[in-house]
Structure 1
Amino acid sequence: MRVLTVTPNPALDLTVQAPGWQPSAVNVVDRAQTDAGGKGVNVAAVLADWAAHGESTIELSAAGWLGQGNASPFEELFRERGIQDHFMRVPGETRLGLKIVDPLSQSTTDFNLPGVQVTPEQVAALTANLRRLAPQHSAVVLSGSLPPGVPSDFYAELIQALRTPAGPLLAVDTSGAALTAVLNAPQLPQLLKPNIHELEAALGRELPSDAERLAATHELLNRGAEWVALSLGEEGAWLVWNGGAVLARPPQVAVVSTVGAGDAMVAGLVSARLEGLSPADALRRATAFSAGNVTRLGAGLPPHADLLALQQQVQIQPQLREQGEL
């Protein structure tokens, strides 16, 4: 199977580990590392780890825009992980993302810069390239924010062009105006993976109860989505489809960094869907991927034995009867 990840706004993620750090103070950093990242790049990196475990044969491609001034870390990642590089180079430098990890509180603070400026001509060129590449792949993952110059309906327009009966599986993980545009478009992708805060913002209402969350996901199913994965952070995640819903509770792990946790979940869902796993088994895998990712700095999976142990510890709970039948 072949998977194409699309990252319009990649980032060089500088992750620093600073126990007990405080704002407006001088803080000591225990360790630091810089990774080529961005949501779709992270998805590809996790899928490459999964393929390296020998559990699946996946050919990976990655596309988006990269600043010419600092493309080399991404090029090195793609070479190391066997990812085909279809990124367009544009003038300037790819943005920096600063991640401050506090192992004492098990928290991560993010500072994300806006990204390189993209012209309408560059938007048109990438769109044309994606329309050419998509039919060659089993799945296309559209992930992350949009850089300056890219219209908020960029993903929505791609979905309208790419979602056909014979086309690839389309998966979307974004937020803000880009997610709102996707949810308001005539066609939805087959797989949506918002977190609870992103979905509440896009729908313009709070979803405090499981019943309200399931009702909201059903609105999306009724409009053409096939799987809606709603992540709830430490509480776990729902996966809802026309035949039912399951809730996954993640295992307790020592959190090193939450960077890439959602991207690991997307990677697990996409790989499971392409392999024909049931929704419950797909969510179990995706939750284990996410839990394994947070035990390390940077996007990726832990050793295979550790990953399998985490998967066995994921608790899967079918929809409760009192929440209403789907």
Structure 2
Amino acid sequence: MTARPGRVVTLTLNPALDLTVRADGWQRGQVNAGQDLHQTAGGKGVNVASILADWSRADRDRAGQGETLSVTATGLLGQDNAAPFEALLRDKGVVDAFVRVNGATRVGIKLVDGAAQETTDINLPGLSATPDTLTELGAVLTRLCADADVVVLAGSLPPGVPADHYATLTAGLRCAGVFVALDTSGPALTAALAAPVLPDLIKPNIHELEAALGRPLTSDTGILAAARTLLERGARIVAVSQGERGALIVTDAGAVFARPPRVTVVSTVGAGDAMVAGLVSAHLSGLSLKGAARRATAFSAGTITRLGPHLPAPAELADLTAQVEVTPA
């Protein structure tokens, strides 16, 4: 189904410039040979925006008609190393509405072992938000969200931003009738899930959900019960990703487990962000629960076959979608 026209805004308060080093078979404490170095602008909301732009462009080309989706990315961006972010957004056709701040955006180092298909992350500290920059960003958000269909709140919170920031934004946006998707972790997720008003779409991984709820979820039954509790409190879609095992996706229409096809993993960076993008695009397309599960899982599987937040070509994506196994949960 072709997506209806829509406007998506992604918010990334703590973006990262990702440096990915491929060093097959690297060993801790040893001198290791690297095979490749790749730099890409990242951060959860940036990744979601990039992937949605890929999907929109492919959908537009396939349908042979006008633009189907407008994607805008905003947040806080260090002006000292903004160029890679500006280039990515420009190349993807994403509207750049980031607020520039003094200093450099944080750097994340990814050590990729292709032989073991493992990625080790080293995240360096980044910028701190000031009251003035948050005020400026608040004005930008108010303007952008006035006619947005979906707002994606994604990623960690930098120093200077209170833990309940996403919860506060969610309450205001949902009151205005905007569909809110949340993908975060730690105190920000804990605060969001404890708030009176929950996001429409919540996409934690299993470990993030356990930490936010303060208890282990050791069985599929327990995970399903936790997701349904969130639905009862106002969420519309809860997707709990569990790595290569797949994802549990729950709505009022039911619950399914989506298992991805086997692919050659280049980097797992952005896999969860791709799932969020898939679920958002499925919402805009009006897909069924099973259709949404297939699309989101295929987006995730396709993204990990390459470096950076990019979807594979439409034919490859269609093949991956067909291979996703969706079963009742």
Query: How does the TM-score come out when normalised to structure 1?
Result: 0.96
Structure 1's unaligned 5+ residue stretches are: 320-326
1:276 to 286, 309, 321: 286
Task: Give the whole-Å Cα distance in 2 for the aligned partners of 1:72 and 1:294.
Answer: 24
Q: Distance in 2 between matches of 1:187 and 1:124?
A: 23
- 3-state secondary structure, aligned to 1:75: helix
**With structure 2 as the length reference, what TM-score do the two structures score?**
0.95
| Cα-to-partner distance string for 1:17-65 (whole Å, 9 max, x where unaligned) | 1100111111111111100110000001111111221358211100000
Q: Paired residue for 2:25, among 11, 20, 27?
A: 20
The alpha-carbon deviation at position 131 of structure 1 amounts to 2.2
Are 1:31 and 2:36 an aligned pair?
yes
Within the candidate set 143, 149, 153, 1:142 is matched to: 153
2:225 is equivalent to residue 225 of structure 1:
no
Question: Conserved in 2, the CA contact under 8 Å of 1:268 and 1:289?
Answer: yes
How much identity, in percent, do the aligned residues show?
59
How far does residue 240 in structure 1 lie from its aligned partner after superposition? 0.4
Query: Which residue number in structure 2 is paired with residue 124 of structure 1?
Result: 135
**Higher mean C-alpha deviation, range 113-122 or range 40-49:** 113-122
Does 2:59 correspond to 1:58?
no
What secondary structure is seen at the aligned counterpart in 2 of 1:163? helix
In the TM superposition, structure 1's runs of 4+ consecutive aligned residues that sit over 2 Å from their partners are none
Larger displacement relative to structure 2 (47-56 or 178-187): 47-56
CA contact (8 A) 1:261 1:291 kept: yes
For 2:323 and 2:69, how far apart are their aligned partners in 1? 26
2:49 is matched with which residue?
44
For the pair 1:215 / 2:220, whether they are aligned, the reply is: no
CA distance in 2, matches of 1:133, 1:263: 21
**Alignment equivalent of 2:199, drawn from 176, 184, 189:** 189
2:273 aligned residue: 263
| Structure 2 residue matching 1:297: 3-state secondary structure | coil
Deviations 1:138-173 (A, max 9, x none): 100000001111111111110111112x52210000
Give the Cα–Cα distance (whole angstroms) in 1 for the partners of residues 235 and 138 of structure 2: 22
Partner of 1:324: none
Alpha-carbon distance, 1:271 to partner: 0.4
CA contact (8 A) 2:173 2:179 kept: no
- Tell me which residue corresponds to 1:67: 78
Q: Name the CA distance, whole Å, in 1 between partners of 2:22 and 2:53.
A: 25
> How many residues get paired?
318
* 1:93 partner SS: coil
Aligned to 1:91: 102
